[in-house]
Amino acid sequence: MAKKKTIPFLQELKKLLETKKLVLGSERTIKLLKKNMLKKVILTINCDLKTLARIEKYAELSKVELQKTNYTNERLGTLCKKPFSISVIGVLE
């Protein structure tokens, strides 16, 4: 059952990577949330609680969708073809 949910997410992530509509990292994502330039924020299952609280606060103020994944930050970094872990991804409008 979990595979059915992850396949659309992986397809969406691949499409966003190709169109370069992703912002990687919590600081850049928060900066763009403050400017109201994002339509969605993707969080990993092991995102730092302090970072999670900040992202949730700014996402609520900006009325941006939050999507929590079942992936770890290491796995999300691999899926994004980066040699480092990623806890937060912002999706540009």
Tens digit of each residue's pLDDT (9 = 90 or more) over 36-70: 999 999 999 999 999 999 999 999 999 999 999 99
Mean pLDDT of the chain: 90
Is the separation of the CB atoms in 27 and 54 below 8 Å?
no
pLDDT for residue 1: 42
Residue 27 corresponds to which amino acid? E
Find how far residue 15's CA is from the centre of its chain: 14
| 88 CB-near residues (< 8 Å, 6+ apart) | 24, 25, 26, 29, 41, 42, 43, 44, 47, 51, 55
Please provide the distance, in angstroms rounded to a whole number, between the alpha carbons at the two ends of the chain. 30
Nearest Cα to 21, choosing from 38, 9, 36?
38
What's the pLDDT at 4?
56
pLDDT exceeds cutoff 60 at 14: yes
pLDDT of residue 13: 87
Q: What per-residue confidence (pLDDT) applies to 72?
A: 94
Q: Which fold would CATH assign to domain 22-87?
A: 60s Ribosomal Protein L30; Chain: A; (3.30.1330)
